[in-house]
A = this chain, B = another copy of it.
């Protein structure tokens, strides 16, 4: 079947959205739609314009025989602000307060649309970095890792607290939790990470950074490197932060159990050099 322009635009939009950061050759599109490459090029100009205008992303065209087009998901600054403001007001809900000044956040992490937005923001913040794999720790980091991995089109690996028979040989490290100062254990399947992998560490919550630091130590055992650290929520008022260079969407500035008040502000997101649309 020969596709008309309107049909190509719909299918190409769908295809590009499902293959972010992946090189698609114009020849491949031309054959898929039985259309001339010049028509495909014109289609891509239309898509790129509207993707930029609507805050969806940009298409990068790589010329030459081995060339093609790559879709990079991006956001506009005001979209990012709106999403982070929404997160802040959701997290500030006093109903979230749990004994020990912990916050209930499972509902946010189990909301796929919210996770897609979080994934989009965090991916945009590391868009210019070389990232081979996302790493997180079980359980609550997983939805964020999957969402970011989806946007960056790279795999994600899950660090566990205990070894499992289904993981095969594992590497285990001990680390000191930042806030409770307890010795804890982290385990990662040996097959999960290749030597030299550039790894983006993500998690739902960071207090002193002990867990993130543990993951950094674990990476060393794999001769892998840290390509970045990104968290949904960071907590202020930490005596000694173990991790310096990280991205956060939301910052918890005060939790008052007695007055049932949670104060949250925007994290350090906008202080990072991010290419907004």
Quick check: is A72 within 8 A (CB to CB) of the other chain? no
Contact A146 B6 (CB under 8 A): no
Interface residues on A, range: 35 or more
Contact A105 B153 (CB under 8 A): no
Contact B11 A9 (CB under 8 A): no
Contact B51 A10 (CB under 8 A): yes
- Please, which residues of chain B bring their CB within 8 A of the CB of A155? 107, 110-112
- Please, which residues of chain B bring their CB within 8 A of the CB of A102? 165-166
Q: Which residue from chain B places its CB closest to the CB of A7 in the assembled complex?
A: B50
Contact A191 B100 (CB under 8 A): no
Contact B47 A166 (CB under 8 A): no
* Copies of this chain per assembly: 2
A 133-160 contacts with B by CB, 8 A:
138-140, 142-143, 146-147, 149-150, 153-158, 160
- Please, which residues of chain B bring their CB within 8 A of the CB of A270? none
Which one of A9, A110, A116, A139 has the highest number of Cβ atoms from chain B below 10 Å of its Cβ? A110
The stretch among A12-20, A23-31, A234-242, A247-255 that forms the contact with chain B is: A12-20
Contact A46 B10 (CB under 8 A): yes
Listed by A's residue number, 5 A-B pairs whose Cβ atoms lie within 8 Å are A7-B50, A14-B17, A98-B165, A110-B156, A112-B149
